[in-house]
């Protein structure tokens, strides 16, 4: 098989895979979630089997502990988060009114006259912004609810995902060996090397970033709550969740927390500074301690690439796309680096200069041998 035919074969395979993924995206969510859960917990299963447990008992023990911990966290945290979210939505107009008053006091009427705007214009603009944002959010939630059948998805996630994860944990190594046996013999070493690099990148980033996000979110939630910030638990966990994209959690969560603190604490500016210091300290620990230890510096995923992947896969496949965005971005990055390396080492890049250099080197080696 020529290089051209090989490339066409794998391109057609990738297109068919994407089309099937798009066609069945609404029913694949619990299965993909189960596979992702099994992938995250597979190292723990390997360690338990190394201690003498069978693969079945190791999978049952891991999944049982995971489900119990998750249910306990949901029972304890979800009611508090729901209360804080409801209170935040109710108090949002008051915060916007405080923002308008703060802008008026800080900027002064002189700046408003220069810009030909008034406090009434600011209030109207903020009200229009909130109204438009609420309308867009309502429309989006309606589409998500009707398009992806949220109720069915939630039930299937709760029921099907643990079952899928259990069987995947049992058969994970066996499936890897089976897929490896399907590889074309001629391309097997190259595919194995690419797969190993993809697995290393995905494992380092996904498993590491999940740990980093959980630890950072827990720190923010506890620290902001102890600082007395309204909705501290909600903002902290939200910052940890969006920190899956590097820097986004600290900047987004920090802006939200400081914005709330500006309306809650003044004239006690010390508390505002404390909230800012919490996020600065969290950013320092995340960037200099947690990420180097848990993720490493050789993952090679740029934050902009991650954000693009999340938006692109989310737009194409909904919530399922958010689950597969990061591993897909990591795999695509490996493939792009591989193709780029082949291109930089090919006559297409070097032209006749490369051919003459190779011929000269070969002639020199021939003369030395002679």
Read off the pLDDT band of 359 (50, 70, 90).
low
For 181-219, how does the pLDDT look when each residue is reduced to its tens digit (9 = 90+)?
888 777 788 888 888 888 887 877 777 878 888 899 899
Q: Give residue 57's pLDDT.
A: 92
Both tokens of 353, joined, read: 């200069």
Q: What is the pLDDT of residue 147?
A: 46
The reported pLDDT for the residue numbered 180 is 84
Query: pLDDT tens for residues 290-326?
Result: 877 776 655 556 777 877 887 888 777 776 777 788 7
Q: How far is residue 304's CA from residue 326's CA, in Å, rounded to a whole number?
A: 12
List, as one string, the DSSP characters of 211-251: HHHHHHHHHHHHHHHHTT-TTHHHHHHHHHHHTTSTTHHHH
For the stretch 333-351, pLDDT in tens is: 888 888 888 888 877 777 7
Contacts for 285 with CB less than 8 Å, ≥ 6 apart: 216, 219
Please, where are the H alpha helices in the chain? 3-23, 25-50, 55-115, 119-147, 150-182, 188-202, 208-226, 232-242, 248-264, 269-285, 291-294, 303-317, 319-344, 347-350, 352-369
Q: What is the mean pLDDT of the chain?
A: 76
Q: How confident is the model at residue 122 (pLDDT cuts 50, 70, 90)?
A: low
Q: What is the pLDDT of residue 140?
A: 47
Q: What is the DSSP letter of 204?
A: I
**pLDDT in the model for residue 129:** 56
């Amino acid at each position: 098989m020529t290089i051209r035919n090989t490339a066409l074969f794998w391109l057609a395979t990738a297109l068919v895979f994407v089309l099937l993924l798009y066609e069945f995206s609404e029913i694949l969510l619990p299965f993909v979630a189960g596979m992702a859960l099994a992938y995250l917990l597979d190292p723990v299963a390997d360690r338990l089997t190394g201690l003498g447990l069978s693969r079945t008992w190791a999978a049952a023990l891991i999944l049982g502990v995971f489900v119990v911990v998750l249910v306990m966290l949901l029972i304890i945290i979800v009611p508090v988060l729901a209360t804080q979210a409801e209170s935040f939505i109710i108090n949002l107009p008051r915060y916007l009114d405080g923002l308008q008053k703060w802008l008026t006091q800080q900027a002064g009427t002189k700046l408003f006259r220069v810009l030909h705007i008034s406090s009434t214009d600011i209030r109207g603009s903020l009200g229009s912004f909130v109204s438009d944002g609420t309308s867009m959010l309502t429309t989006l939630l309606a589409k998500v609810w009707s398009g992806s059948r949220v109720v069915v998805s939630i039930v299937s996630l709760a029921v099907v995902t643990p079952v899928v994860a259990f069987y995947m944990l049992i058969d994970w190594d066996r499936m890897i060996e089976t897929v490896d046996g399907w590889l074309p013999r001629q391309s097997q070493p190259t595919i194995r090397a690419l797969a190993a690099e993809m697995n290393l990148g995905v494992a380092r980033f996904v498993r590491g970033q999940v740990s980093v996000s959980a630890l950072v979110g827990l720190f923010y939630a506890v620290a902001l709550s102890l600082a007395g910030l309204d909705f501290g638990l909600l903002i902290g966990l939200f910052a940890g969740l969006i920190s899956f994209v590097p820097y986004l959690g600290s900047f987004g969560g920090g802006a939200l927390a400081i914005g709330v603190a500006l309306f809650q604490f003044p004239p006690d500016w010390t508390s505002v500074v404390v909230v800012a210091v919490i996020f600065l300290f969290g950013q320092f620990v995340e960037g200099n301690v947690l990420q180097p230890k848990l993720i490493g510096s050789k993952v090679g995923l740029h934050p902009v690439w991650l954000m693009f992947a999340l938006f692109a896969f989310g737009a194409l496949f909904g919530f399922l796309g958010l689950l597969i965005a990061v591993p897909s971005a990591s795999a695509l990055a490996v493939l792009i680096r591989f193709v780029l390396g082949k291109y930089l080492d090919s006559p297409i890049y070097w032209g006749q200069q490369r051919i003459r250099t190779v011929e000269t080197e070969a002639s020199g080696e021939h003369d030395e041998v002679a």
